[in-house]
Amino acid sequence: MQRREFIKNTSLAVAGTALVPHFLHGQMNIQRYPLVISGGKAFIDGKWQTPYIGITADGRLKVSATELPADQYFDAAGLIVSPGFIDILADNSANPKRTYQTFEKYKLTDGVTTPLQMHGGSHEVAAYYDYFEQQPHWTNYGVSTKVMSIRWRYNQLPERLRDVERCLDAGALGVSHSIEYQPTPYSELLEYARLAARYDRPLFLHLRYSSEEKELDGVDEAIRLAKDTGARVHLDHLHSTGGTFHMAAALEKIRAARRAGLEITTDVYPYSYWATYLHSERFAPGWREQYGLDYGDLTVVGTGEKLTASTFRQYRALKGVLVAVPPGTTPMEKTVDLALKEDFCMIGSDGGIEREQHANNHPRGAGAFATAIRHGLQIGIKLETILEKMTTLPRQLLRPNLENRGVLRNGAIADLTIFDPDTIDGAATVANPNQFSKGIETVILNGKIAYTQGHLKVQNGQAIRAKVKS
C-alpha cells in the first residue's frame, strides 16, 4: 500500500483491513502488529539496515530482519526511519498553559517527539506536571528546575536550595540556571551542582560570559563545577555563550575535562545568528561595543522590523520583545561546524513557537532539527552522526529517564520520525518562523501517528518525569 493511500484510509487507533502475507494465513497463534513499517532505512547496531519495524498495541517496537504480520503496512521506501528526535533545550516557560499547544505543534512537525525544557523549565515542578498530565499533548514533555525563578522568589540560599530540592523530588529532570542573565556567586552555584549530583540529574548552564575577553572564563567555571561536585554539566548553546569568539579553545577545554573523567556536554543550534529578548542583560548599556552591532542590525522576529535608537528604547521597556541579530554574526565555520564534529555535542533548539499570529520567536523554534540534518549533510557529516546528536546523546545525558526512548530496539517506546533525506530542511525564517519543516513524512508518538504529510493527527504525548529514588 502506498503511503498516501495508507494515511488516507487508516490510523493506528483503528485497525483496518488485514493485509497478511499468504504464507501466514491460518497461523492464528503468531503475533500480529497494528502497524509494520517496511522498506525504510534505519541505523541499527552500527550499520544501515532495512528492517521490518513493528509497533505493538501498547506502543512498543519490534525490530525484525524478516517480515512481520500486520493489520496495516507502511511503505517507507526511500525514507529514513529514526527514533523520534529529542530536543533537550526546548523553551516555552513564559506562559506554558496558554502557549503549549502551539509550541508542541511546531516541535512535532520538525520531527521532535520529546521537547524537554532544560534551559529554564519550571520553579513549580509538582504543579506543572499535575496540570499538564490532565491536558492533551502533541509531543512528550518534561521540565528542569528553573533556578532563576527560585532566586527571584527567595533571598536566602537555604530557602532557594530547599525549593530546588522540592522540584527534584517532584520529578524535575535536572537543575538549570542562566548565570549570564542572573549573575550568581560561585559558592551558590556549587550548592546547586551538589544537589544535581546527589540526585543524579544533569546541571544545565547558560554560561556567565558572552564577551570575547571573558567567554572562556565561563567554560572554565563550568568545568570547575563538574570537578568540585562530580555533577554532569551541560553547557547550553556553546556557540552563543562560551564559544562565540573562541570555539576551538572552548572545545579543547571540554575535551581535556572529559579526558580527565568529567562528564561535560554541550549543544548548538544550526543558525548563524542568535536572538533574545530586548529586556535581557545582553542589551544592557555597552552591548553595541561588546557585539560590534548597532540598532539597525536588530530585527524584530515575526515582523521583520528593523530597530532604531528610538524603537530600541521603546521595545526594551515593553518586556518580551524578541530580536534577532544579522545572519553571519556567528560564523558557522568558526563556531557551529567545529562543535558539530565533537562526539559530546548535540542539537538543542533553545527555542519554541508560542503564538500563531505575529510569532515573536527565533526560527529555531520550528526548524532547528530539520535544518541541522540538512546543514550537517552539506558540511560532510554522516547522517547517522547527526541523528545520534538528536537521539542517543540526549538519552544518555538524561539517563535513566529516557531509557526506552531515542533508540530502535525491541521493547523500546515507539517514538519514530520518518523523513526524506533528500528534501529534509527547515522552512522557518525570521520574518515568518511559523512554518512546518520540509521532508518530515510521518511522526509516530507512543505508537500512534501524530503527524503525517502536513497533517496533525492524534495527541498522544506523555510526561517525561524523573524517577525519584525512595
- How high is the pLDDT of residue 290? 82
Task: With beta carbons less than 8 A apart as the criterion, state whether 42 and 81 touch.
Answer: yes
> Residue 293: exposed, middle, or buried by beta-carbon count in 10 A (0-12, 13-18, 19+)?
middle
Q: What are phi and psi of 133, to 5 degrees?
A: -70, -10
pTM metric for this prediction? 0.89
Rounded-to-integer distance, Cα 414 and Cα 401, Å? 16
Quick count: other Cβ atoms within 10 Å of Cβ 367? Answer: 30
- How high is the pLDDT of residue 405? 97
Instruction: Render each residue's pLDDT in the chain as its tens digit; 470 residues.
Output: 455 444 444 443 333 333 334 334 444 457 899 999 999 999 999 999 999 999 999 999 999 999 999 999 999 999 999 999 999 999 988 889 999 999 999 999 999 999 999 998 999 999 999 999 999 999 999 999 999 999 999 999 999 999 999 999 999 999 999 999 999 999 999 999 999 999 999 999 999 998 899 999 999 999 999 999 999 999 999 999 999 999 999 999 999 999 999 999 999 999 988 788 898 888 989 899 888 899 999 998 877 889 999 999 999 998 778 888 888 888 999 999 999 999 999 999 999 998 887 777 889 999 999 999 999 999 999 999 999 999 999 999 999 999 999 999 999 999 999 999 999 999 998 888 899 999 999 999 999 999 999 999 999 999 999 987 65
- How high is the pLDDT of residue 3? 52
Strand order in the sheet with 345-347: 85-87, 112-122, 142-146, 175-178, 203-206, 233-235, 264-268, 345-347
Residues in the chain: 470
Structural domain boundaries in the chain: 3-82+422-456, 84-274+326-406, 276-324
Which residue type is seen at 189? L
CATH of 84-274+326-406, one of 3.20.20.140, 3.40.50.2000, 3.40.47.10, 3.40.50.720: 3.20.20.140
CATH code for the part of the protein at 3-82+422-456:
2.30.40.10
Task: With beta carbons less than 8 A apart as the criterion, state whether 228 and 193 touch.
Answer: yes
Which residue type is seen at 150? I
- How high is the pLDDT of residue 225? 98
Q: Which of 103, 88, 195 is nearest to 143 (CA)?
A: 88
Quick count: other Cβ atoms within 10 Å of Cβ 19? Answer: 13
For the chain, what is the radius of gyration of the CA atoms?
A: 22
- How high is the pLDDT of residue 15? 34
- How high is the pLDDT of residue 446? 98
Q: Which of 438, 409, 379, 443 is nearest to 140 (CA)?
A: 443
- How high is the pLDDT of residue 281? 81
**Residues sharing a CB contact under 8 Å with residue 29, sequence separation 6 or more, in sequence order:** none
- How high is the pLDDT of residue 324? 86
- How high is the pLDDT of residue 4? 45
- How high is the pLDDT of residue 29? 57
Task: With beta carbons less than 8 A apart as the criterion, state whether 186 and 218 touch.
Answer: no
**Cα distances (angstroms) measured from residue 189 to each of 132, 196, 201, 243, 303:** 30, 11, 15, 21, 38
Cell numbers of 264, please?
A: 561535560
